[in-house]
Structure 1
Amino acid sequence: MKLAVIGGGSTYTPELIDGFARLRDELSLTEISLVDPDARRLELIAGMARRMLARAGHPARVTATASVEEGAAGAAAVLLQLRVGGQAARDVDETLPLECGCVGQETTGAGGLAKALRTVPVVLDIAERIRAQAPDAWIVDFTNPVGIVTRALLEAGHRAIGLCNVAIGFQRRFAATLGVTPERISLGHVGLNHLTWERAVRLDGVDVLPRLLAEHGEEIADDVGLPVELIRHLGVVPSYYLRYFYEHDRVVQEQRAKPSRAAEVAAMETTLLEMYADPAVDTKPELLGKRGGAFYSEAAVALIASLLGDRGDTQVVNLRNDGTLPFLPDEAVIEVPARISAAGAAALPVEEVQPLFAGLISHVTAYETLALDAALHGGERRVADALLAHPLVGQASLSDDLARRLVEANRTHLPWATA
């Protein structure tokens, strides 16, 4: 079976390769095609991938190409892990909003919108080229902002599912805390991508969340960066990304006092590429663990194995709402547990979502609708409207100012802004 990785020149790709090698019994691969326009990075990553697979005794061959068509041809599944504009654009996403008093983050708020504007048109173009070469291939999107990008793919008629590592990360952390294997833990995970809450943590089907909050509340609070009093009051475990909403002003102060995450990652990438260039290195470096995306490889392997093997198991994915959360439109993309089979993902029933959470989910969904409209059709006014609808911005003069700044900063990546 052939798998293509679009954005295969990422320094993160060896994490994927490590997962493919370790989980070879779940996913039988004969070819991994790495696709990337950056020839130097692609050569380094492909060489590293070949050495890793050889060390593991994995029979799959690694091919490398700048051509999406060549990489996708005959593929059963395609992973998307793009960063349009690289770390330089990410640095702008994280620092420009801070100048206006808003959180600077690459997947939510003004930074997340900027990334969506750059990314959605590129992803849709790539997806059409994939469809021409591999019409039956599943597209697994790990490209942020996952919710908006996945919705764009689905509305264009592609066989796409969005994937994030937040849920599997929580599953693994809770399992470690309880001293059990991850397979015994299931989650009451609900919300949108990067806007989710764990409303239940089931050990062998029994909800142990109250026990976790009582006995390990401080540890959990430190993990998600929120006060333990808030978490115990809510009675849920919010994802780390909820900190941008629940403690917006404090986060802005913290971000202004230190270098951007993009600057940190750029420095890591320089070091990682030097490591990958060493022909003696054939295992993923420890530094890669600080790069982000923990457990993504395992989530990706499990999802692809279930889609192609018709396993019918339960995994947390991003998929079309279609009535699962009745307070959202059907076309919204939500992140919930779903049954995964050869037919795709089917959301499992979700217990009624309390207004405290449903209100924010609805608010951000409205923003995502406007963000996708801006990404598809362009126009500074559409960008400003999306910002006005976002709970992390939401003021008219601020939205107009940020829209102007975002368009100017991203002009080279926005064809409609340079016409």
Structure 2
Amino acid sequence: MKLTILGGGGFRVPLVYEAVATAATGLTVDEVALHDVDAARLATITAVIEGLGEQLTGAGRAASLPRLRATTDLREALAGADFVFSAVRVGGAEARTVDERVALSLGLLGQETIGPGGLAYALRTLPVVLDIARAIAEVAPQAWVINFTNPAGIVTEAMRGVLGDKVVGICDTPIGLVRRVGRLLGTDLVAGERGAGFDYVGLNHLGWLRSVTIDGTDRLPGLLADDDALEEIEEARLIGKDWVRADGALPNEYLYYYLHTAAAIERITASATTRGEFLAKQQGDFYLAAADSCCSSPLSLWRSTLHEREATYMAESRDEERREEDVAGGGYQEVALRLMTAIATGRSERMILDVGNAPAGAAALPAARIIPELPADAVIEVLCLVDGDGVHPQPVAPVELGRLGLMSSLRSAERSILVAATTGSREAAWQGFSAHPLVSSPVLGAQLLEGYAAGHPRIAALLTSR
């Protein structure tokens, strides 16, 4: 079995390799192919992985290692792949800093996937991932594509337009929330112990856990009423206990940026650097140091850099250092591997995934959709059963009007950006930036468009028509 990782020079790729090499889910992978357009970064991550492999075999955690290949040739990397992990970052962390600063200069939220920064990220990324999808259709049409490229919702939606239901988006934040709640209730909600079930619905980075049923009883209202219990749930601490109680649901942590926008902007602007600037320097320093001939252990350097990165995640949303139990966890690599294992072996898994609102090619009737009010081809984030026959989204309760309105507004803005990315239309890009729920202004939308075109040569070259 061959796994191809696109964005193979990315900083977190060794986490994926470790999960694969140790057969953490019982699945044996024969070959891992790394692809990246940056040969130097690819060589550095390859050195980290080779060091990791030596440790894994020396400690007996891996009896044998998958063959490791690294290449800058996309089609060579894809040839014969059974699974493709897409984790590309177009423009690198340096481009992210532009996404953040243009928005902040206008008094708007500067964040990687939320707000106008997320739309700018999508605008320069979508043409690239669409080219990747077409290459997969040519070279590896049998492959399943597991997308972690952000903004994951609209990127997954675009790739599904080429490859259909074999593209699935993943994120580790929803299942992390469910696991935290399960630990409090003494039940493995993901495994379905004691007949456990839960209702999670939304878009990527915009979702809510609305019920948790154990032995036929919804336990979420009792949990929301318990201050001590909410103190153990990171999302409740971020958003506010009174709000989650009033809302009757536990939100994805990224709702912080929608519900506390002014506070987020104030905290970001008060910092010496944005998150993108921090990562650009931190990771830039890592790649330079690891490539230096004096570096005796790229792996050790990578581990220390990783812990600092994870501990400072979403730091602008917290009044405290991130708790160790919230730093540790399965991460997106575990989610991806569990998904891959279920499809390859037929062993059933319950997972929260980004999938089509209706199967590709299904009749566009509301009855065929998970959320009847949204388009059939919209990508939503819901509980799914995964097995050897594929990914099966599960029904959800009717979506409340306020949640539905926010979801619709966001996806409408992102779809305008997709139109701009595929047609070069400046007007579509303007509409997308203007319509985002954290912008809601054609004047600001026009200023964002000009700022991003000036800051990103790739966007300026793309937008060539009205």
TM-score range, shorter chain: over 0.9
Q: What is the 5 A alignment of 1:5-404? A: 5-56=5-56, 57=62, 58-158=64-164, 159-178=166-185, 183=191, 184=193, 187-202=198-213, 207-213=218-224, 214=226, 215-220=228-233, 225-258=238-271, 259-273=273-287, 274=289, 278=295, 280=297, 282=299, 285-292=303-310, 295-322=331-358, 323-404=369-450
Counterpart amino acid of residue 118 in structure 2: G
Q: 2-side partners of 1:150 and 1:109: how far apart? A: 18
- For residues 244-299 of structure 1, the C-alpha deviation after alignment (integer angstroms, 9 at most, x for no partner) is 21121221111111121012222331454335875546576144144359611100
SS in 2 for 1:156: helix
- Aligned 8 A contact 1:200 1:236 in 2: yes
Q: Distance in 2 between matches of 1:402 and 1:319?
A: 30
Note the C-alpha offset of 1:84: 0.4
Q: Which has the higher contact order (CA 8 A, sep 6+)?
A: 1
Scaled by the length of structure 2, the TM-score of the pair is: 0.84
- CA change 1:140–1:290 in 2 (3 A) is farther
- List per-residue Cα deviations over 1:186-211 (Å, max 9, x = no partner): 54211001100111234577543233
Task: State the AA in 2 paired with 1:59.
Answer: L
AA at the equivalent of 1:76: D
Q: What's the TM-score once normalised by structure 1's chain length?
A: 0.92
2:229 is paired with a residue whose SS is helix
SS of 1:130's equivalent in the other structure is helix
> In the aligned structure 2, how far is the partner of 1:400 from the partner of 1:280?
48
Which shows bigger deviation, 308-317 or 68-77? 308-317
Contact 1:224 1:239 in 2 (8 A): no
Matches of 1:290 and 1:154 in 2, distance apart? 35
Q: CA deviation at 1:308?
A: 1.9
Percent of aligned pairs with the same amino acid: 34
Give the C-alpha shift of residue 351 in structure 1: 0.8
Q: RMSD over aligned Cα, in angstroms? A: 2.4
* Contact map agreement 2:203 2:407 (CA 8 A) in 1: yes
In structure 2, what residue type is equivalent to 1:162?
A: G
Please give the per-residue CA displacement for 1:345-393, whole angstroms capped at 9, x wherever unaligned: 2210101112221221122222222121122112221111112221111
Return 61-70 or 377-386, whichever deviates more: 377-386
Q: For residue 77 of structure 2, what is the amino acid of its counterpart?
A: G
Q: Distance in 2 between matches of 1:191 and 1:376?
A: 25
Secondary structure at the counterpart of residue 212 of structure 2: strand
- The number of equivalent residue pairs is 419
Rate the CA distance shift 1:205–1:370 in 2: closer, same or farther, 3 A.
farther
Which AA in structure 1 matches 2:159?
A: L
Q: Secondary structure of 1:64's partner? A: strand
Measure the CA separation in 1 of the matches of 2:286 and 2:199. Answer: 36
Aligned pair in 2 of structure 1 residues 164, 103: CA closer, same or farther (>3 Å)? Answer: same
CA pair 224-395 structure 1, distance change in 2 beyond 3 A: farther
Contact 1:7–1:36 (Cα < 8 Å) also in 2: yes
Q: AA paired with 1:285?
A: R
Deviates more, 1:109-118 or 1:208-217: 208-217
Distance (whole Å) between structure 1 residues aligned to residue 431 and residue 12 of structure 2: 34
**Residue 35 (structure 1) shift:** 0.5
Tell me, in whole angstroms, the C-alpha distance in 2 between the residues paired with 1:301 and 1:416: 35
More divergent stretch after superposition (336-345 vs 289-298): 289-298
Greater shift in the superposed pair: 202-211 or 321-330: 202-211
Query: Is residue 98–residue 455 contact of structure 2 (8 Å, CA) maintained in 1?
Result: yes
Contact 1:78 1:137 (8 Å CA) reproduced: yes
Question: Counterparts of 2:85 and 2:355 in 1: how far apart (Å)?
Answer: 16
- Give the superposition deviation at 1:320: 0.8
Gaps of 5+ in 1: none
